[in-house]
A = this chain, B = another copy of it.
Amino acid sequence: MDDWLFTMVMPLALLEKSIDKRISLLLKDNRVLEGKLKGYDDYMNMVLEETEERTPDQERRLGTVVLRGNNVVSITAL
Query: A71 — nearest CB in chain B belongs to which residue?
Result: B73
Q: Is the CB of B77 within 8 A of A45?
A: no
- CB contacts under 8 Å to B, within A8-22, are 8-16, 19-20
Number of identical monomers bound together in the oligomeric complex = 7
- CA gap between A69 and B71 in the complex, in Å: 12
- CB contacts under 8 Å to B, within A23-38, are 27-30, 33, 38
Complex interface: chain B residues within 8 A of A39 (CB): 8-11, 13-14
Complex interface: chain B residues within 8 A of A69 (CB): 68
Complex interface: chain B residues within 8 A of A64 (CB): 14, 76-77
Complex interface: chain B residues within 8 A of A76 (CB): 51, 62-66
